[in-house]
Amino acid sequence: MSDIPPEKIETTFKKLDADAEKFGYHLSPDTDFVKELIEGLLINEETYGYWACPCRLADGDKADDLDIVCPCDYRDADLNEFGACYCALYVSDEIKRGDAQPEPIPDRRPSYSERKIEKAQIPVQEDEASGAEAPSGLAYPVWRCKVCGYLAARDDPPPVCPICKATKERFERFM
């Protein structure tokens, strides 16, 4: 269905699977399904320039799609509540063991109009993700990874989240 070479899908699958297991996540045991989603991610990388979620319609503007760059901001909440992410690429221990099946779930991402309203309400923080002042009483500002919740007390967020590999721009100021 695409011109993505099968070897590229295979190497990406191996890496994603190894990373997931290393950091306490699991890919779905349905390997064919997983590989189709990985192909989707690689197609989206070609189309948009980043790993836009294969099961959501990307806008094409990275700033607007940041919350759905895989792994998306909604993965962990969906894993907790439903045992799988929206695409069912990542699944719970139970599903991984084959004791349950992933089901289609509602999309946790706010709708386009809700996102527009949210955006208008959040004041633009120029210093987001770069050299912010520490809150009073603390030696450092604290940054939170929006994907996995990892917290880092340091002048700037790390370039890559050590837990889930999300990039610096996915961090928000926490304290």
**96 part of the interface to other proteins, by CB under 8 A:** no
**87 part of the interface to other proteins, by CB under 8 A:** yes
**Count of residues touching other proteins (by CB under 8 A):** 24
**136 part of the interface to other proteins, by CB under 8 A:** no
d(CA 165, CA 169): 12
Three-state SS string across the chain, please? CCCCCHHHHHHHHHHHHHHHHHCCCEECCCHHHHHHHHHHHHHHHHHHCCCECCCCCCCCCHHHHHHHECCCCCHHHHHHHHCECCCCCEECHHHHHCCCCCCCCCCCCCCHHHHHHHHHHCCCCCCCCCCCCCCCCCCCCEEEECCCCCEEECCCCCCECCCCCCEHHHEEECC
- Contact with other proteins (CB under 8 A) among 43, 66, 129, 134: 43
CB of residue 83 vs ligand SF4: minimum separation in angstroms?
A: 12
CB of residue 163 vs other proteins: minimum separation in angstroms?
A: 25
**Which amino acid type is present at position 31?**
T
- Contact with other proteins (CB under 8 A) among 29, 55, 150, 173: 55
**69 part of the interface to other proteins, by CB under 8 A:** no
Residue 107: contacted member of ligand SF4, other proteins, none (CB under 5 to 8 Å, by partner type): other proteins
- Contact with other proteins (CB under 8 A) among 17, 36, 64, 172: 36
Contacts to other proteins by CB under 8 A: 1, 33, 36-37, 39-41, 43-44, 47, 54-58, 87-89, 104-107, 111-112
